[in-house]
Amino acid sequence: MELTKQQFTEDLRKSLTQNFAKTTKNANDQEIYMSLARVIKGYYSKIWLEDNEYKDKTAAKQTYYFSIEFMPGRMLKSNLLNLGLLQTVRDALADIGSDLDKISENEQDMAIGNGGLGRLASCFMDSLASTGLPGNGNGIRYKYGLFKQRIIDGYQVELPDVWLTNGNPWEVRRSDKAVEVKFGGNVWMEEIGHGRYTPHFENQETILAVPYDTAMVGYENKTVNNLCLWRAELPEGSEVIHPSLDYMQDVDTLSAVLYPDDSNYSGRLLRLKQEYFFVSAGLQRIVNHYLNLGLPLPRIPEHVAVHINDTHPALCIPEFMRILIDEHEMSWESAWQLTVKTMSYTNHTIMAEAMEKWSEEMMKSLLPRIYQIIVEIDNRFAKEYIPKVGPSLVHNTRIVKDGKVHMANLSIIGSHSTNGVAKIHSDLLKDVVLHDFYIIFPERFNNKTNGIAERRWIQIANEELSGLIDETIGKSWRKDLNDLTVLKAFQDNDEILNKFEAVKFHDKERLAKLILEKNGITVNPNAIFDVQVKRLHAYKRQLLNLLHIMKLYFDIKDGNAENMVPRVFIFGAKAAPSYQYAKAIIKAINEVANMINSDTDVEDKLKVVFLENYNVSLAEQIIPSANVGEQISLASTEASGTSNMKFMLNGALTIGTLDGANIEIKDAVGDENIFIFGMNKDDVLEYYTNGRYQSTEIYNSNPILKRILNAFVDGSIPNIENEGREIFDSMTVYNDEYFVLRDFDSYVETQKRLEDYYRDRHAWNKSCLLNIANAARFSSDRTVREYAEQIWQINPR
Ligand code: NTF
C-alpha cells in the first residue's frame, strides 16, 4: 500500500496518545509495539473488509485448513513486509529514535504448535494469502502456547508460555459468531416415519466456542484470509443456573494448553475434547456462513473445501455428517457424498506411536452421537467393500476394531484425497503403511511435497542476503521465487561469490554475538557453523551428531587434528516434557558442550552450543548463519522435514540421509552440492524384515565407537551418570532402534569430505549459490498451488 513516512508517523503518534496517553518521547518499547501493531491492523483491516465482501459476493470456493496447531511466530514484520511498508516504517521509527528490530522483540511469539506440522500450517497461511488463494485456518486459541524451555544444569526445564498477558493486538474477538459445542450425556433415536430417525439428547454439557480472527495478509495483493482460533467459555445464561465448579473448570481447561507432544499420541480425554471442540465450532461457523449467503446445502462442495491436517481434526467427517443429517434432515446417502467430496486429509508421519486411536469407551461417553455416526460409517464401509475387495482387506482397514477408533482410517475412508508430504513419504504410505487402503482407493492417494514461506525465511530472516540477491538479479524473485534460477549464471563469478560469502560472514558474526550474550561462549565466525535445529526425537538422531562431535574431540585430544577446520556445532531442540530419553540427550549435549568448551587443549577448533528455547523467532536468527544444515534422520522416518528447505534457501549445504525432502533437494541441486550418507530406505526396510541388526557387533568391532560410547558411562563425560547410562544402553542393550551405530562410519567419512570441501572456497561458495538458486521448488507458494489445483479446486483472486 501507498503510505508516506509522515503519514505513518502521524498515525503512530495518534495511536500512542489514544491507547497509552504517551508520546513518542516517553513511550516504552512495549507501548510503541502495541500502538504500532494497532496502526498496522487499521491499515490492513480495510483490505480485509473489502476481500471479505468480494468473497461473499462471488461465493467462490474457499478452503478451510483445520489444524490443532499453528506456529506463526511474530506477526509484525510479516504484516509490514506483505503490506509493502517494512522500509517506510523502519525509516520512520529511526527518525523518532526507535529501532524496528528492537520494537519487534516486544511481540511474544505466537507459538501454538509443536514443530513441523504447526509451522507448515503457518507457512501455508502465508502462502495462501500471498498467492491470492481463498484459504483460511481453523484451530484453537490456546491460552498457553508451547512451553518455554530453560536449560538449568544442562537439563531442560519447562516454563509456561503466557503469551497473552499483554494482549494480542492482531486478533479480533467475534462474539456474534460464537457457537455452542455439546459433550456427553445420553442420546436416543426417535422414529419419525418413513424409516427416518431423529436424535434426542439429555444431560449434555454445553460449552460456548468464541472465535478470535486474525488477518492473514497477502504479499502485495488484495487478499486477506482469516485464521480463526476458538476459545472455550461459559455459555450465555449460565450465570442464572449457578454452574458447578467442576464444570467451570472444565470450560477453562478446554482451550488452556497445547499438548506438548510431537509425533506422539496422548490418548487423553481432554485432547479428544479439544479435537471435537474446534472441529464442531469450525464446521458450524462454515455452514452458518454458507447458508447466510443463501446457497443450497447440497451444493456445498462447490463452495467449501475442508482440509484435515493430520488426524487431529478427523472428527470433521462425522461432525459434518451430524450437521447435515441431524440439523438439516439430509439423507445418509446424500450427506455421505457431500462429506467425502468436501474433506481431504494429509498424513504427516509414519511413526507408529503417532497414530491416533481413541478408545471406543471414551468416544462413546464423550461424544455419543458422533460415536454412533462413526460406527455407521464403519458398518456401511464393510458392507459395501467386502463384496468388492474381500473380508481381509476390509478387516485391515476398518475404522472401529479392537475396542479402538482408528482416526487415520476414518480420515481416508471419509475423504476424497490422502496425501503425504514428500515423494518418499507418499510412496511409503502407498507401498507400506497404508497399502491396503491404496488397493481399495488408489485414486485418492497423492503427494504434495512440503514447502516454506520464503517471505519469512529469507526476506525477513535474512535482509542482507535478500538485498544482495536484489543487487545481483533484480527484485522479481520476491514475487516469484522461480526467478532465483537466474543466480545460476553467477556460479563461477568469484566477485559475486565473494559477496555472498561476505553476507554469510556477517550473519555468522551476528549469531556469534547472540551466542555470547545467551550462553557466554565465544565462537569464531571463521569456523564452520554446523547446525541441527528441530524437535528432539530419537529418530532425528541428534545423538549421531553428538557421537561425531565426540570423535572430533578425541581426535583433538590425541593430537590427530592439526589441520582441522574449526567447527561450531549449534543445537536447538525442545523435548516433549514426558519424553525421558529425549531429555537425556539434551542433558548429554549440554555436558559434552561444557566439557569441550572448557577444555583448553581444544582452543577454538571445536565449540558446542545448545541454544535454549528454540522457536520460530530464534530459527530466524540461527538459520541464516549456518554453513551446514544437519538432516540426519534414519531413512524412512522423517516424513519431509522443512528446516532442510530453510537452510538451502539461506545458502547452507545439507548433510543428510536419503530421507524426506532431502531426496528432492538432492535432485534439485545435484549430487555435488549436497552431502548424502548412510542407509537408504530399502536398507532400513530390509533390516526390519530380516530382523538381523545387532548393534553390539558394531560396538565390539569398532574401537572408535566403543571409546566414544564408553565415555558416556565411565565418567569421561562429567555429570551424566544416569543419562549416560540410558544412552549407552539404548545403543547396546536395546539394540539401537534407529541404527545410529550402523550409519556412524558413513557419517564420519562424509563429514570429513565436507570439511575438505569447505577448504576450497570457490567450490563451497558455488555450491551455496546453487542451493539458493534451486530453492524455488521448495516454496510453499508452489505447494499450496498444487493443493489448490489438485485437491481443493480453488482459484486465486
Ligand atoms: C512432521 N510431523 C514431520 O515429522 C516432518 O517431517 C514434516 O516436515 C512436518 O510434519 C510437516 O509435514 C509432525 O509434526 C507430526 F506431528 F505429525 F508428527
Cell numbers representing residue 452 in the block: 516454506
In the reported structure, the alpha carbon of residue 620 is separated from the centroid of ligand 1 by a whole-number distance in angstroms of: 19
DSSP state of 564: P
The share of the chain scoring above pLDDT 90, in percent, equals 95
Cell numbers representing residue 795 in the block: 482459484
Annotated catalytic, 646? yes
* Residues 280 and 353 reside in one and the same domain: yes
Total number of domains constituting the chain: 2
* Residues 70 and 130 reside in one and the same domain: yes
Cell numbers representing residue 46 in the block: 480495510
* Calpha distance 229→214 (Å, rounded): 8
* Residues 182 and 312 reside in one and the same domain: yes
* Residues 504 and 599 reside in one and the same domain: yes
Collapse the DSSP code of 328 into the 3-class scheme (helix H, G, I; strand E, B; otherwise coil) and give the result. coil
What pTM does this model have? 0.98
* Residues 410 and 512 reside in one and the same domain: no
Collapse the DSSP code of 700 into the 3-class scheme (helix H, G, I; strand E, B; otherwise coil) and give the result. helix
* Residues 379 and 490 reside in one and the same domain: no
| Per-residue pLDDT, 120 | 98
* Residues 423 and 475 reside in one and the same domain: no
Ligand 1 and 424: CB distance under 6 A: no
Whether 84 is in a domain gets the answer: no
Annotated catalytic, 540? yes
Whether 96 is in a domain gets the answer: no
Structural contact between residues 127 and 451, judged by C-beta atoms closer than 8 angstroms:
yes
Residue type, 769: L
| Per-residue pLDDT, 246 | 81
* Calpha distance 288→297 (Å, rounded): 10
Task: Give mean pLDDT, residues 731-747.
Answer: 98
Ligand 1 and 642: CB distance under 6 A: yes
Q: What angle do CA 66, 68, 69 make, to 5 degrees?
A: 110
Task: Give mean pLDDT, residues 729-745.
Answer: 98
Ligand 1 and 723: CB distance under 6 A: no
Residue type, 536: L
Ligand 1 and 354: CB distance under 6 A: yes
**Is the pLDDT assigned to residue 379 strictly greater than 70?**
yes
* Calpha distance 341→306 (Å, rounded): 9
In the reported structure, the alpha carbon of residue 422 is separated from the centroid of ligand 1 by a whole-number distance in angstroms of: 11
* Calpha distance 561→565 (Å, rounded): 9
Task: Give mean pLDDT, residues 467-494.
Answer: 98
Annotated catalytic, 637? no
Q: Which of 349, 411, 634, 642 to mutate to test the pocket of ligand 1 (most atoms within 8 A of CB)?
A: 349
Ligand 1: residue whose CA is nearest its atom 8: 641
Whether 424 is in a domain gets the answer: yes
| Per-residue pLDDT, 245 | 80
> What would the pLDDT profile of 394-408 be if each residue is shown by its tens digit?
999 999 999 999 999
* Calpha distance 654→676 (Å, rounded): 8
Helix (H) or strand (E) holding 59: none
| Per-residue pLDDT, 624 | 98
Q: Which residues in 586-620 are b (16+ Cβ under 10 Å) and which e? A: bbbbbbbbbbbbeeeebeebbbbbbbbbbbbbbbb
| Per-residue pLDDT, 241 | 59
Ligand 1: residue whose CA is nearest its atom 17: 348
Q: Which residues in 272-294 are b (16+ Cβ under 10 Å) and which e? A: bbbbbbbbbbbbbbbbebbeeee
**Is the pLDDT assigned to residue 690 strictly greater than 70?**
yes
ipTM over 0.90: yes
Cell numbers representing residue 359 in the block: 478408545
> What would the pLDDT profile of 296-344 be if each residue is shown by its tens digit?
999 999 999 999 999 999 999 999 999 999 999 999 999 999 999 999 9
- Give the pLDDT band (50/70/90) at residue 197: confident
Whether 709 is in a domain gets the answer: no
**Is the pLDDT assigned to residue 239 strictly greater than 60?**
no
* Calpha distance 121→103 (Å, rounded): 26
| Per-residue pLDDT, 193 | 82
| Per-residue pLDDT, 331 | 96
Query: Domain with 747 in it: what CATH number?
Result: 3.40.50.2000
Give the neighbor-by-neighbor strand order of the sheet with 528-533: 606-610, 567-572, 528-533, 628-631, 653-656, 675-676
Q: Report which of 168, 118, 121, 110 is spatially closest to residue 144, judged by C-alpha positions.
A: 110
Whether 88 is in a domain gets the answer: no
* Calpha distance 777→770 (Å, rounded): 13
* Residues 631 and 525 reside in one and the same domain: yes
| Per-residue pLDDT, 789 | 98
* Residues 771 and 788 reside in one and the same domain: no
DSSP state of 73: B
* Residues 597 and 617 reside in one and the same domain: yes
* Residues 418 and 525 reside in one and the same domain: no
* Calpha distance 556→568 (Å, rounded): 14
Ligand 1: residue whose CA is nearest its atom 2: 348
Cell numbers representing residue 496 in the block: 559475486
DSSP string for 361-383:
HHHHHH-HHHHHHHHHHHHHHHH
Whether 79 is in a domain gets the answer: no
**To the nearest 10°, the Cα dihedral for 245, 249, 251, 256?**
170
**Is the pLDDT assigned to residue 249 strictly greater than 90?**
no
| Per-residue pLDDT, 262 | 86
| Per-residue pLDDT, 238 | 65
469/237: higher pLDDT:
469
DSSP state of 566: P
| Per-residue pLDDT, 236 | 77
Average pLDDT, the chain: 97
Q: Which residue range(s) make up the domain with 263?
A: 59-74+109-450+784-792
DSSP state of 144: B
Ligand 1 and 151: CB distance under 6 A: no
* Calpha distance 80→57 (Å, rounded): 28
**Is the pLDDT assigned to residue 194 strictly greater than 90?**
no
Ligand 1 and 408: CB distance under 6 A: no
Q: Report which of 525, 597, 522, 533 is spatially closest to residue 566, judged by C-alpha positions.
A: 525
* Residues 465 and 444 reside in one and the same domain: no
Q: Which of 114, 123, 311, 421 to mutate to test the pocket of ligand 1 (most atoms within 8 A of CB)?
A: 421
Collapse the DSSP code of 162 into the 3-class scheme (helix H, G, I; strand E, B; otherwise coil) and give the result. coil
**Is the pLDDT assigned to residue 780 strictly greater than 70?**
yes
Whether 34 is in a domain gets the answer: no
| Per-residue pLDDT, 195 | 77
Annotated catalytic, 551? no
Ligand 1: residue whose CA is nearest its atom 15: 263
